Structure 1
Amino acid sequence: MENKSPEHVHCLIIGSGPAGYTAAIYAARAALKPVLYQGIQPGGQLTITTEVENYPGYADGVQGPEMMVDFEKQAVRMGADIRFGLATKVDFSQRPFKVEIDEEKELTADAVIIATGASAKWLGLESEQRLNGFGVSACAVCDGFFFRGKEVAIVGAGDTACEEAVYLSKLATTVHMIVRKGEDGMKASKVMQDRVKATPNIKVYWNSETIEVVGEQKVSSVKIRNNQDGSIVDVPISGFFVAIGHQPNSDIFKDYITMDEAGYIQTVPGSSRTNVEGVFAAGDVQDKTYRQAVTAAGSGCMAALDAERFLSAVGHV
């Protein structure tokens, strides 16, 4: 960070999903003159989602990328300064905080809102990425509705995978659950394992892995290999869900911000405050429980209000 005269920002927002844009809307209306850097994926995870039907206010549903454009337009109309750029380094050891953008531009900020989100972990298959949004999803709660009355598959062995399998079982005719290890290798709690086993339309494939998600314009089947005998089955499905976890985008903050063992930023309960006074966190980077657009937007509102109160208390408003 050698820029001799860094730009100073009153309220800096890092990230541009529902949390970041909502924080920008509220901060702009509070005359905090927010500057928001969109990061490597402007709009966040919703830009790789197709139809969104569970966000209030969109009676007929909306495409994920379109919704994020709407959020951005509203933030700009309120006066937020929205910019392309990725935060690559921070120094939260003292105020004003220092943030480096794209490894070259230095900023200082009186308050920072972290809304960098989380990224779904994927299996790494070419077919999985090609059909992402066309039957492949990393969020059963978001997209399960579209597979009502159809057969689906889900990959994973933890509590989230089990919860999503049970959720999908109420919508789909059959849920094919692919587990890499045997029953003794399940990471999920016993109560969740028992719930899966007690659900008649969940079929578990133990010691198995996905070879390929089959389909041209949409998912048509999944090829599953049994790692014990090498046999391969081709199971007809319409939806393929990956539930092997999420990775919060929090690495650049780890020297200053308290996180849990998985890298999720820990906030003071009932607030967006982190362990560093003047730094706030909102959205999926601090929420491993709900991970919905509407909850992220709500926490973005909280972060902006918390930032406004902080800046007022230290005499910057």
Structure 2
Amino acid sequence: MNPQQVYDVIIAGAGPAGMTAAVYTSRANMRTLLIEKGSPGGQMVNTEDIENYPGYESVLGPELSQKMFDHARKFGADYVRGQIREIRDGYPFKSVVLDDWEYKAKSVIVATGAEHRKLGVPGEKEFAGRGVSYCAVCDGAFFADMELVVVGGGDSAVEEAVFLTRYASKVTIIHRRDSLRAQKIIQKRAFENEKIHFIWNQQVLEIRGDSTVSGVLMQNTVTGEVLEYPCQGVFIYIGMDPISYCVKHLGITNDAGYIRTDEQMRTKLPGIFAAGDVREKTLRQVVTATGDGCLAAQSAQHYVEQLDERLKEQSLLESRNIS
């Protein structure tokens, strides 16, 4: 890899959207650079079982992540591991700024994904890694025979609660409403699991402990009653926030930070595209992310082809004027 070269496309993020985009762009003989700050796969790599990706009745998240990454690299895409600090618009080249280098490309696909939303309560930050976690697959084994709390009521919260029963002696789901938002088939698994218990209409106010977590302070959303519930670990799944800080200054995000695009994954800035969970849309799944990645790659390819034609014409005009 030559860091001095100008790429046809830089793909920011190696989740399912970014890796799919890399397959399509590199296969189209576009000079492609894929940049990822962590392990390829994004949120997918932290998912135990994926049961709704076509062609797989069930597949491990890390396994599917590796398969996608190998596929993305097969056709010659370059890969850099690093933290993207800023994406800069420009003509004819865009810039992607990392801690230690700046890369240039004719187009950029932003596929930086989303991250777990924080509760923002006392004790959450203090006990991170000492009883507070956002990844059951990563940390579940550290909580063997312990009593755990899962905060949330969506698909991720309930799926991870079921996963945690492999290790924990008891898992209690605390939800601020009186019913779950998860899909019915996922709810059914939780309700039928004797290790899983539910506490409804409760909002966590504080995570308590000494050297490690010892419990949560919660308030009833109906009565206002406050009480402490003992546990030895807290897993938080209350939603996702887009990882879009690197483009905030470009004016392409909505109020929540998600990037606005059209159906072809084009932002309002020519040559800058977005795909996957960082994009403003209604459904965020692996399969929708891969679809986004394909469309973004196609749009980037068309943009670069047109840009190359314009630059060629410009060069011809300049040479004629000189002569």
Provide the TM-score with structure 1 as the length reference: 0.72
Larger radius of gyration: 2
Partner of 2:107: 111
Match of 1:76 among 68, 73, 76: 73
Partner of 2:55: 57
Distance in 2, matches of 1:120 and 1:23, equals 24
Render the CA deviation track for 1:43-76: whole Å, top value 9, x for unaligned. Answer: 21122222222222223x2222221111111111
Contact 2:136 2:235 in 1 (8 A): no
Partner of 1:91: 88
Distance in 1, matches of 2:9 and 2:60, equals 30
CA RMSD of aligned residues (A): 3.8
Matched, 1:67 2:64: yes
When residues 241 and 64 of structure 1 are mapped into structure 2, their CA distance, relative to the original with a 3 A threshold, is same
Distance in 2, matches of 1:165 and 1:154, equals 17
Matched, 1:247 2:245: no
Distance in 2, matches of 1:19 and 1:10, equals 18
Distance in 2, matches of 1:250 and 1:281, equals 10
Partner of 1:225: 218
Which consecutive unaligned segments of at least 5 residues does structure 2 have?
141-147, 311-323
Contact 2:153 2:180 in 1 (8 A): no
Overall identity of the aligned pairs, in %:
31
Distance in 2, matches of 1:119 and 1:55, equals 21
The alignment partner of 2:258 has SS state of: coil
Contact 1:154 1:242 in 2 (8 A): no
Partner of 2:321: none
Deviation at 1:15, TM superposition (A): 0.4
Contact 1:152 1:172 in 2 (8 A): no
Render the CA deviation track for 1:150-169: whole Å, top value 9, x for unaligned. Answer: 97514457xxx963387754
When residues 137 and 307 of structure 1 are mapped into structure 2, their CA distance, relative to the original with a 3 A threshold, is farther
Match of 1:301 among 272, 275, 294: 294
How many residues matched? Answer: 274
Provide the TM-score with structure 2 as the length reference: 0.71
Deviation at 1:116, TM superposition (A): 0.4
Deviation at 1:130, TM superposition (A): 7.7
Deviation at 1:88, TM superposition (A): 1.4
Which consecutive unaligned segments of at least 5 residues does structure 1 have?
176-200, 214-220
Distance in 2, matches of 1:118 and 1:107, equals 23
2:80 is aligned with what amino acid? R
When residues 234 and 169 of structure 1 are mapped into structure 2, their CA distance, relative to the original with a 3 A threshold, is farther
Matched, 1:261 2:259: no
When residues 209 and 309 of structure 1 are mapped into structure 2, their CA distance, relative to the original with a 3 A threshold, is same
The alignment partner of 1:98 has SS state of: strand
When residues 294 and 287 of structure 1 are mapped into structure 2, their CA distance, relative to the original with a 3 A threshold, is farther
The alignment partner of 1:163 has SS state of: coil
Distance in 2, matches of 1:249 and 1:95, equals 26
When residues 91 and 128 of structure 1 are mapped into structure 2, their CA distance, relative to the original with a 3 A threshold, is same
Deviation at 1:308, TM superposition (A): 1.0
The alignment partner of 1:275 has SS state of: coil
When residues 294 and 139 of structure 1 are mapped into structure 2, their CA distance, relative to the original with a 3 A threshold, is farther
Render the CA deviation track for 1:185-215: whole Å, top value 9, x for unaligned. Answer: xxxxxxxxxxxxxxxx9852345546479xx
Deviation at 1:310, TM superposition (A): 1.3
1:132 is aligned with what amino acid? A
Deviation at 1:174, TM superposition (A): 8.4
The alignment partner of 2:79 has SS state of: strand
